[in-house]
Structure formats: structure tokens, C-alpha cells
Amino acid sequence: MKKTLIAASSALLCLACCLPALSAEYTTTLADQQGVSVTIYNQNLALVKDRRTINLPAGQNVLAFREVSAQIKPETALLSGGDLHVLEQNFEFDLLTPQALLEKYVGQEVTVIRTHPTTGEETREKAKVLSANNGVVLKLGDHIETGIPGRLVFDHVPENLRDRPTLTMLADSTTDKPQQVELSYLTEGLAWQADYVAELNPTDNAMDINGWVTLTNQSGTTYNNASLQLVAGDVHQAPPEQPARRLVQDKVMTMAAERQDAMAEEQMFEYHLYSLERPTTIRDNQTKQVALLQAGQVPCRKELILQGADYYYRSQYGELGEKMKIGVFVEVANSKDNHLGLPLPRGVVRVYKKDAKDRLQFVGEDRIDHTPENETLRLKLGDSFDVTANRKQTDFKKVAGSSRYDYVYEAVFGIELKNGKKEAVTVKVVEPIPGDWEMLAESLPHVKATSNTAVWQVPVPGLGSTTLTYKVRVKY
């Protein structure tokens, strides 16, 4: 039996000697960074490519890639370049905070330092941390205390707590020489949107447009002198199997405006790619603006529109509305002939106009979707104060049919448009008419814009009114 035990012990000792000893952890920080590029998408998603020079001994080593995004998607991380092979990787996101430190010390001893309020004398006492959940529970000697009765001193920092988000890798290097590697990964916490500022001219037929890209970095790290690209378009992402819990944190934002260079645009796949011609630094917890476009004296057209509803034609009504709002819209053609012609990312267009004392005043805003070249921007800026409408149904009758599937109705309507301005205006009346319809009579000619829409352009004199009347037959 003794001989068997000795033989087994010797075998285990030999096996242990043959196993490779893992080296100490080797850390790479932003000081090793040779360059970084960031491509930001519309859906709170970004692709980061971080190039660094590392120096590892030959063999298997633990490489700690510090100062990556705190919202990295670890499953997307890829280390390429150099003469090494990654065997395993872990994202260490348990960051060093007073609360996290207390939680790691549950069941262990800390030192409590108390200061006498009169003499200033300090006393030290050992305490065992019993709980750090919703407060602190300590055992000091033969009694229990809640809260922190003084300063706490910890013997060490637990190994699994990091002061910065870190991606650790078990890497097998074939060389001990310095090598350049690139870590690429997808992350949340980086977002962008387009913001446009437009100034109308005095006659409302042209505007100056300035476009900005607004970047927001809440990813938990800074990207120094980054090569920046933005993708406009709706990139599909696989939905999660189960919704992940999200932590909401208060962020302090700073605003930095960059005006030196506009962004270059190109088509990529089914999207559009905007590239900043120079590197820029995107700091953590920062909102930055970069110039996108500048266009002067862009022709535009203002419209006053009264929008109807199709339920007017299904039953008998009397008054359908008094002092109804007239919407104010501005249309801009996104074409090179119109001093634009650049694919415009979705965002908010804010419109201003100077008053009689040459001071800019805000007159409205609207959100636009991605707008390709040669499409039309249509902005609703508000409702007219001086132009209103009174609408009523003056006659309604059923002329045929025995069930709701073959009814034929005839209805007569009157729309009085009032203008409180001194200058004349034109109101576009848009009426959605259901079923098969036929216009029997009208005071002004209409245009059949679509199969179920009749449109009138109604001139209204200054400080006057115009009444549009029409009779329509509707078949269901």
C-alpha cells in the first residue's frame, strides 16, 4: 500500500511539473493605443476598432485589455493581428466602487477608524461585514451595528473588481516581440442624430439650412482622436430572446461644437455612410456636434392646408366645426438644383425667422425621416393664427340601396375660409372621400389627387372670406 501511495504521489508531482505555468496578467491601456475608429449607427449601436501595440512573452498569457466600452457586447469582440491566438476571453464589468467593495467583503473583516469629535483622537477596531444589502451591518466585538460608524479600511482590493471596464483574454503568443493588434467589437452607449436649423427669408420662399450631427457618448470610455463614421439607415439587429435588464444612470453632459469640416457622404450597401475628414475625440459623458451641411437660399414653398375626414360622408351631420385650425407647412425639394441634393439623415428641423427688428424668432419644428436625393421634405410648423375655417354639412340623403353594402348617398358641404391678414392667401382643402364617388357640383374645380382624395386650391382675400361648396355622390 505504501509503495502504491508513493508511486501515485510521484506521478502527480511529475504531471504538475509538466503543466505550463500561467504568467502574470499583462495589461494594455490607452497609452498603448495607436489608433481607434468608431462607426456609429442610428439604433444606439457602434462598431469600435481599437489598435494597440502589446508586448507579451511567448506562450500562454493573460492579456487585460483595459478601457474598453462599459456597454460592450462581449460576444462580438474579436482580436486580430499579431502572432497570437485567443483561447478564452472574459468581460470584467464589476467595477470598483465603495458599494461593490463592501459587497465583496461580506463575511470578511475590515478596520473601522473612529475620530473623537473633541480631541480628534483616532481609534481602530476590527469589524466583520455581515451584510451590505440596503445598508451596512457590522459585527464589532460582541454587538451588531448598522450603518458605517466611521471610516472603513480594507486590506486589499478583490481580484475580480476592476477600476475600468476590462476585457481579459487567455492568449497564446508565438513571439515575445512587440506586436500590433486590433480589437473590434460592437457596443451600445454611442448614438447620433441629425439636427437641422433653417432660417426663412422675409417672403417665406427660401431658407438657409445648416445641418449638424449630434453625437452622444455614454459608453463608459473615451475615444481619443478617433476616425469617425456614421451610418444612416435602419440596420437590422437580431432581437434578444429575453429582454435584458437595463440600469438607468444619471449622466452629466457637456456640449462641444466642431465646425471646421463638413462630413463626406457615400453610399454603402443599402445605407449611407458619412465620414468626418479629420480625427475627433469623443469623451465619455459628452454630447458633441459636428457640421453636416450648409446650404443657402434653398427655394421652398409655404402651404396652408385644411385636412378633412372621411366620416363626413357616411351619415347626416350639421355643423362639423367652427374656427377649425389651418395647418402651416413648408416644402423643400432635396435636389442639387435646389442647392441641396445630399441624402439627409433623419432628425429634427427647427425653423426660425427674423422679426421686424431683425431678431430671430422660432416659428416651428418637425421631424424628418431619412430623405434620399430628389425627394421632398415636408415640414409642419404649426397652425395659422389668422386663417380659420367653418365647416358644415348642408344636405344629406340616401338615394339608393337596401343594405350597407350597396348604399348610395348624396351630401352637400360648405366650407367658409376666413382670412384675418391684410394680404391674400390660398388654402389647400384636402378631402378624403370614401367608396366610389362622383362630384356632382362645386363652386371651384377640384383635382382628384388620389382615388379617394379631392383637393381644392381656394383663394381667400385679405381681411375677407371665401366659401367653398360642393355636392358629392358616394357609393359603397
**Res. 393: pLDDT tops 90:** yes
Residue 281 located in a structural domain:
no
**Res. 21: pLDDT tops 90:** no
Share of residues in the chain with pLDDT > 90 (%):
51
351 contact partners, CB below 8 Å, separation of at least 6 = 198, 199, 200, 207, 330, 362, 363, 364, 365, 379, 381
Q: For residue 306, what is the domain's CATH number?
A: 2.60.40
Residues 305 and 178 grouped into a single domain: no
Share of residues in the chain with pLDDT > 70 (%):
87
Residue 349 located in a structural domain:
no
Residues 91 and 102 grouped into a single domain: no
Distance of CA 315 to the CA centre of its chain: 45
> Phi/psi at 6 (nearest 5 deg)?
-65, -40
Residues 145 and 28 grouped into a single domain: no
Residues 66 and 144 grouped into a single domain: no
Give yes or no for a contact between 435 and 409, defined as CB atoms under 8 angstroms apart: no
CA angle 314, 316, 320 (to 5 degrees): 95
Residue 411 located in a structural domain:
yes
pLDDT of residue 269: 67
Measured torsion, CA atoms of residues 28, 31, 35, 39, in degrees rounded to the nearest 10: 70
Residues 403 and 441 grouped into a single domain: yes
Q: Count the domains in the chain.
A: 3
**Res. 171: pLDDT tops 70:** yes
Residue 141 located in a structural domain:
yes
pLDDT of residue 360: 94
Specify the DSSP class assigned to residue 260.
Answer: S
Residue 451 located in a structural domain:
yes
User: What would the pLDDT profile of 153-166 be if each residue is shown by its tens digit?
Assistant: 888 877 776 767 78
Residues 179 and 321 grouped into a single domain: no
Which helix (H) or strand (E) covers residue 176, if one does? none
pLDDT of residue 93: 65
Rounded mean pLDDT of 9-13?
Answer: 37
Residues 464 and 420 grouped into a single domain: yes
> Confidence class of residue 182 from pLDDT cuts 50, 70 and 90?
very high
pLDDT of residue 132: 87
Residue 271 located in a structural domain:
no
Print the domain residue range for 412.
301-334+375-475
Residues 166 and 106 grouped into a single domain: no
User: What would the pLDDT profile of 286-334 be if each residue is shown by its tens digit?
Assistant: 999 888 889 999 999 999 999 999 988 988 888 899 999 999 999 999 9
Kindly list the distances between the CA atom of residue 281 and the CA atoms of 38, 78, 181, in Å, as whole numbers in the listed order.
10, 23, 21
Residue 293 located in a structural domain:
no
Could you tell me the pTM of the whole model?
0.68
Kindly list the distances between the CA atom of residue 151 and the CA atoms of 98, 112, 125, in Å, as whole numbers in the listed order.
12, 6, 11
CA distance linking residue 89 with residue 62, whole number of Å: 9
User: What would the pLDDT profile of 92-138 be if each residue is shown by its tens digit?
Assistant: 766 667 887 888 888 889 899 888 888 888 888 898 989 888 888 88
Kindly list the distances between the CA atom of residue 321 and the CA atoms of 281, 374, 380, in Å, as whole numbers in the listed order.
56, 38, 21
Mean pLDDT of the residues in the chain = 85
The closest alpha carbon to 154, from 189, 115, 126, 177, belongs to: 126
Residues 27 and 124 grouped into a single domain: no
Beta bridge mates, 86: 171
Residues 430 and 318 grouped into a single domain: yes
Specify the DSSP class assigned to residue 72.
Answer: B
The closest alpha carbon to 468, from 451, 455, 452, belongs to: 455
6 contact partners, CB below 8 Å, separation of at least 6 = none
Residues 456 and 412 grouped into a single domain: yes
Residues 86 and 112 grouped into a single domain: no
User: What would the pLDDT profile of 190-244 be if each residue is shown by its tens digit?
Assistant: 999 899 999 999 999 999 999 999 999 999 899 999 999 998 877 777 777 655 5
Residue 344 located in a structural domain:
no
The closest alpha carbon to 128, from 112, 116, 115, 113, belongs to: 112
